[in-house]
């Protein structure tokens, strides 16, 4: 199915099942422990062995020698894989770090060997017996601020802008020119990276935890140098990813290499310290934001520059991305700069680009509002725009940011905010309110599905789409049930298998909108097969309550499969006409905090998120996505920071004991409001994405609230109490 014109009335618009806040269809499996994650796979294939990696003890240098004698003779050891016996090991298209290091070392904890034994305990014990001699490079670069002077323009991210920024900024009567920093962060997902690999001759099957099956298939084939037709990837349940499992990482590659060397299936799972230093993370940024405005508050110049670091060949953190489209302003300048750092790889983490970029831009907007003596909400309303502010000046497909601002301000009682910081107290707590806007791209990717209507009247959906815990199983079941007029309990969904039709996977807020559109397309074809079987010719049909009806007659759906199962497969292909409009999602965040006047401790007291994200396919699962994103935003604002040992080049706090994330006690009442909108130019579903919109701007809203409470402006995240103590009003 080609989607090249705006969607008109279609079966989805009946909203009998789609749009309802139904429980997750796989929820019972999750809470009873019968939804098997990759880490829990112990018996998917007979005769499974276990592999443990040997991680590099240096960040940059070479392996000079490796003594395997003691490890080889340890109980239960079957094989040891190193760069010397692994054969050619390449690099995929998504991650730049090699899964197996040696002799060159790219980063700390890069795997240099994997030890395979009969049991996990034997493999772990033997891995400790491997002795590696290194020559450490003395020129490693581990500090972004020091490397800032030797950066490059990153590939595929040239400088951009419009008008004459320098002249407009210089002549602006009101100016903001500030620098903000965000730290390195880790995904800290629940489920560790884990893979079981098995060879059958020259064919490889892996059971793994990966977000995008087609990328994993492509990259595994490229890394191992085998045709992707000889690889099968199975990933039905994923215990969180946030971009950290976009494609295959070292666990999958090393399990495949180890299984080939050992001659039997092998499971490799990464321990938490190995995950944090061995896989990928959100890289730190240094951002300079310049805003120029006239006395009325209209932005005349907007400049955003960002510096980040990565391994050689890696990409930059695109922190300037939200500034491209969020606010009006004729004169614009956007620049990214990339430094080569010898730290573990920087890559995608929930809303890459927008999350750190909004943490800077939205503080700068509040600083501009303060200079202008304009309310922060009013300033943003003044600079709203229905067309892209830079060429080609496309109109937004839908942009209800103003509705989000007004709705949020009313619901949050924003009028009670003190315009002068440090004025409100609740005992020893200084009380402040803050807000920020949110923007995230409404991306789509071609997506396919197969649907099977069985002789029992039950429908099965098959697609290689994945579910990170986001509700994909449920919304795909809702889509199919709506299209075929069946109860939700008569639909089953099978996901995460490369033998199924190709879907976009879960990344970049595109999964829900794209994959439901793929199921829609397959069901359109199935409806045509049913109509033909039942003798309906070119008539508008209604599929409802297990029946098919036209204006003149009706027939049971079950009659269409009296002669056997019906199978239909199709995919949605998004045409070029969609790009004639700018597709984004929008929102606002409002936060109230309390700051202890004695200690500087920050407590979030209440939060509100208002989202304009097209048709909401399931308000319950969508709300869960947004409050999860809001929670991650709290972590990014107040506590999350990977601490770097700048002598030896590694993340010191590489476990969940010392890398702090929010817990229940940190999170107050969270409210989510979805603006009622549909976008017929976005997809047949008239939906958008929402899973990453909920984190964009949260950090800045908290920072702005802390300033409103204390009068102390912090521009370096996280907002830890040491940055507040000494700058607080005296306790009462």
Instruction: Please list, in sequence order, all residues whose beta carbon lies within 8 angstroms of the beta carbon of residue 718, skipping any fewer than 6 positions away.
Output: 183, 636, 637, 638, 639, 640, 641
Quote the strand ranges of 625-732, DSSP E: 644-645, 650-651, 669-674
* Strand arrangement of the beta sheet that strand 203-208 belongs to: 77-82, 111-117, 49-55, 266-269, 194-200, 203-208, 231-234
Q: Let me know: does 572 contact 520? Beta carbons within 8 Å.
A: yes
Instruction: Please identify which residue in the block is written with the tokens 């990214």.
Output: 336
Strands 429-441 and 584-596: antiparallel
CA distances for 137 relative to 57, 134, 650, angstroms: 12, 9, 14
Alpha helices (runs of H) in 373-435, residue ranges in sequence order: 376-382, 401-411
State both tokens at 146.
């020091």
Instruction: Please list, in sequence order, all residues whose beta carbon lies within 8 angstroms of the beta carbon of residue 550, skipping any fewer than 6 positions away.
Output: 536, 539, 540, 541, 542
| Preceding amide of 392 cis, omega within 30 | yes
Long-range contacts of 406-409 (CB under 8 A, 24+ apart): 406/377, 406/381, 407/610, 407/673, 407/675, 408/435, 408/588, 408/589, 408/590, 408/608, 408/610, 408/673, 409/377, 409/435, 409/590
Q: CA–CA separation, 398 vs 533, rounded Å?
A: 40
Active site residues: 692
Dihedral of alpha carbons 519, 522, 528, 531, sign = negative
Q: How far is CA 322 from the centre of its chain?
A: 16
Instruction: Please list, in sequence order, all residues whose beta carbon lies within 8 angstroms of the beta carbon of residue 51, skipping any fewer than 6 positions away.
Output: 81, 114, 115, 116, 123, 254, 255, 258, 266, 267, 268
Classify 363 as helix, strand or coil. Answer: helix
Apex CA 444: angle with CA 501 and CA 155, to 5°?
110
Radius of gyration of the chain (CA): 27
Instruction: Please identify which residue in the block is written with the tokens 């040239």.
Output: 158
DSSP assignment of 220-273? HHHHHTS-GGGEEEE----S--TTTTSS--HHHHHHHHHHHHHTS-EEEE--HH
CA distances for 406 relative to 381, 401, 415, 606, 673, angstroms: 9, 9, 11, 18, 12
Q: Let me know: does 578 contact 681? Beta carbons within 8 Å.
A: yes
State both tokens at 46.
């007979």
Q: Let me know: does 449 contact 724? Beta carbons within 8 Å.
A: no
| Preceding amide of 517 cis, omega within 30 | no
Instruction: Please identify which residue in the block is written with the tokens 């930059």.
Output: 316
Q: CA–CA separation, 636 vs 660, rounded Å?
A: 10
The torsion region of residue 252 among left (phi > 0), alpha (psi -120 to 50) and beta comes to alpha
Burial (CB < 10 A; 0-12, 13-18, 19+), residue 227, is exposed
Q: How far is CA 43 from the centre of its chain?
A: 30
């Amino acid at each position: 199915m080609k989607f090249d014109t705006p969607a008109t009335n279609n079966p989805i618009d009946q909203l009998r099942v789609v749009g309802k806040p139904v429980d997750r269809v796989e929820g019972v499996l999750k809470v009873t422990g019968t939804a098997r994650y990759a880490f829990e796979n112990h018996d998917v294939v007979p005769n499974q062995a276990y592999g443990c990696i040997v991680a590099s003890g240096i960040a940059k240098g070479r392996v000079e020698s490796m003594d395997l004698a003691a490890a080889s003779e340890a109980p239960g050891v079957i094989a040891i894989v190193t760069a010397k016996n692994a054969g050619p090991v390449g690099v995929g298209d998504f991650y730049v770090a090699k899964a197996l290091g040696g002799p060159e070392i790219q980063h700390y904890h890069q795997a240099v060997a994997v030890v395979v034994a009969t049991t996990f305990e034997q493999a772990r014990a033997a891995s400790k017996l491997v002795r590696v001699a290194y020559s450490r490079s003395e020129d490693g670069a581990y500090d972004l601020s020091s490397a800032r002077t030797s950066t490059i323009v990153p590939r595929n991210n040239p400088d951009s802008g419009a008008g004459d920024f320098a002249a407009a900024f210089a002549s602006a009567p009101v100016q903001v020119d500030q620098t903000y920093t965000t730290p390195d962060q880790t995904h800290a997902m629940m489920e560790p990276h884990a893979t079981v690999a098995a060879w059958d001759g020259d064919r490889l099957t892996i059971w793994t935890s990966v977000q995008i099956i087609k990328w994993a298939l492509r990259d595994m084939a490229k890394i191992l140098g085998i045709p992707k037709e000889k690889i099968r990837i199975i990933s039905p349940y994923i215990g969180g990813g946030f971009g950290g499992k976009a494609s295959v990482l070292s666990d999958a590659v090393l399990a495949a290499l180890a299984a080939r060397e050992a001659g039997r299936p092998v499971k490799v799972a990464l321990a938490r310290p190995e995950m944090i230093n061995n896989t990928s993370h959100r890289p730190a940024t240094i951002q300079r934001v310049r805003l120029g405005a006239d006395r009325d508050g209209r932005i005349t110049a907007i400049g955003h520059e960002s510096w980040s670091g990565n391994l050689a060949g890696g990409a930059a953190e695109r922190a300037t991305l939200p500034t491209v489209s969020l606010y009006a302003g004729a004169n614009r300048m956007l620049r990214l700069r990339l430094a080569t750092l010898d730290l573990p790889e920087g890559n995608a983490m929930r809303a890459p680009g927008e999350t750190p970029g909004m943490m800077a831009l939205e503080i700068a907007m509040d600083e501009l509002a303060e200079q202008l003596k304009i309310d922060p909400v009013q300033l943003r309303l003044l600079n709203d725009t229905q067309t892209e502010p830079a060429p080609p000046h496309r109109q937004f497909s839908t942009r209800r940011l103003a509705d989000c601002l007004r709705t949020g301000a009313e619901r949050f009682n924003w009028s009670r905010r003190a315009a002068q910081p440090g004025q409100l107290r609740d005992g020893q707590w200084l009380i402040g309110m803050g807000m920020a806007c949110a923007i995230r791209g409404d991306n789509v990717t071609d997506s396919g599905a197969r649907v099977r209507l069985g002789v029992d009247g039950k429908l099965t959906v098959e697609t290689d789409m994945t579910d990170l815990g986001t509700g994909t199983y449920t919304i795909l079941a809702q889509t199919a049930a709506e299209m075929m007029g069946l109860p939700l309990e008569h639909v089953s969904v099978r996901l995460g298998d490369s033998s199924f039709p190709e879907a976009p996977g879960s990344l970049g807020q595109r999964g829900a909108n794209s994959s439901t559109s793929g199921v829609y397309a397959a069901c359109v074809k199935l409806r045509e097969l049913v109509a033909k079987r039942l003798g309906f010719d070119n008539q508008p049909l209604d599929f409802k309550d297990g029946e098919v009806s036209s204006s003149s007659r009706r027939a049971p759906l079950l009659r269409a499969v009296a002669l056997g199962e019906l199978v239909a497969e199709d995919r949605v292909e998004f045409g070029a006409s969609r790009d004639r409009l700018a597709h984004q999602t929008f929102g606002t965040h409002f936060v109230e905090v309390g700051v202890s006047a004695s200690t500087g401790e920050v407590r979030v007291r209440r939060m509100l998120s208002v989202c304009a994200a097209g048709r909401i396919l399931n308000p319950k699962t969508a709300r869960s996505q947004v409050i999860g994103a809001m929670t991650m935003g709290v972590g990014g604002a107040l506590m999350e920071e990977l601490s770097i040992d700048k002598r030896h080049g590694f993340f010191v706090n590489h476990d969940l004991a010392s890398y702090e994330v929010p817990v229940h006690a940190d999170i107050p009442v969270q409210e989510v409001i979805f603006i009622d909108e549909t976008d017929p130019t976005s997809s047949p579903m008239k939906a958008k994405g929402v899973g990453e919109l909920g984190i964009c701007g949260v950090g800045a809203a908290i920072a702005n609230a802390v300033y409103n409470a204390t009068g102390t402006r912090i521009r370096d995240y996280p907002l830890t109490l040491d940055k507040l103590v000494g700058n607080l009003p005296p306790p009462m």
